[in-house]
């Protein structure tokens, strides 16, 4: 069973931040050691000037501790959350992933468990491709990527590679919303392995 969990997210408009925070609060209930880390986005201040929604979340996001690869050394389970940008991870998340390169030859992250989530505009937006990009990264690092179990997928439009939240349907972020219920169910499963 995982003793230490790290949740690493990138977010500009708040969706991935809210999901990361929900995972953090769920893991806290299970009395496991958990840390929430934000991927640095050098453009966040500028984007907050352009987008009202980014300005709304900016200060809260910046209060979260910045992610550094070395802060993940002692994690048993790492959860990555990235916005889907053009059917891939965001540039900031990719830059963070590339910082793992010194650890690839030494297998520093080999055998750790990993789970992914993303948010994207809609079901045709390539959220599954973004999850796939994170999964492939994890496999390069030798991590064991955890899929969404089939029984949680039944009747839902989630890809197996991880959790997707479709932006715009805010009801899914309410306490009984589909995304929130999926986070709760997935946290319980992740606690078992």
Ligand X SMILES: Cc1cc2nc3c(=O)[nH]c(=O)nc-3n(C[C@H](O)[C@H](O)[C@H](O)COP(=O)(O)O)c2cc1C
CA distance 35 to 67: 10
The correct pick among 2, 84, 116, 145 for binding ligand X (CB under 6 A) is 84
What residues numbered 139-168 form the site for ligand X, per CB under 6 A? 167
**Shortest distance in whole angstroms from residue 32 CB to ligand X:** 24
Q: Is 51 among the residues that bind ligand X (CB under 6 A)?
A: no
Distance CA 23, CA 97 (A): 21
By CB under 6 A, tell whether 114 contacts ligand X.
Answer: no
Q: Is 85 in the site for ligand X (CB under 6 A)?
A: yes
| 11 binds ligand X per the rule CB under 6 A | yes
* Using rule CB under 6 A, residue 13 touches ligand X: yes
Distance of alpha carbon 136 from alpha carbon 19, whole angstroms:
22
Q: Is 132 in the site for ligand X (CB under 6 A)?
A: no
Instruction: Decide if residue 7 touches ligand X (CB under 6 A).
Output: no
* Euclidean distance between the first and the last CA atom of the chain, given in angstroms as a whole number: 5
Task: Evaluate whether 34 touches 47 at the Cβ level (below 8 Å).
Answer: no
Listed in sequence order, the DSSP H helices in 86-177 are: 91-98, 127-140, 150-153
Q: Which residues bind ligand X (CB under 6 A)?
A: 11-17, 83-87, 119-122, 125-126, 167
């Amino acid at each position: 069973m995982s003793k230490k969990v790290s949740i690493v997210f990138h977010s500009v408009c708040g969706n991935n931040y809210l999901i990361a925070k929900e995972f953090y609060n769920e893991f806290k209930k299970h009395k496991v050691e958990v840390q929430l880390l934000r991927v640095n986005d050098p453009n966040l201040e500028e984007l907050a000037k352009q987008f009202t929604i980014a300005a709304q979340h900016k200060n809260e996001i910046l209060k979260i501790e910045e992610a550094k690869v070395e802060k993940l050394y002692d994690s048993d389970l790492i959860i990555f959350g990235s916005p889907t940008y053009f059917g891939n991870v965001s540039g900031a998340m990719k830059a963070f992933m590339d910082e793992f390169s010194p650890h690839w030859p030494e297998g520093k992250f080999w055998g750790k468990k990993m789970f992914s989530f993303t948010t994207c505009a809609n079901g045709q937006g390539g959220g599954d491709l973004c999850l796939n990009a994170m999964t492939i990264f994890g496999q390069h690092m030798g991590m064991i990527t955890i899929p969404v179990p089939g029984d949680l997928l039944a009747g839902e439009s989630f890809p197996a590679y991880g959790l997707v939240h479709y932006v715009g349907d805010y009801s899914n972020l309410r306490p009984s919303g589909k995304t929130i219920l999926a986070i709760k169910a997935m946290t319980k499963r992740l606690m078992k392995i």
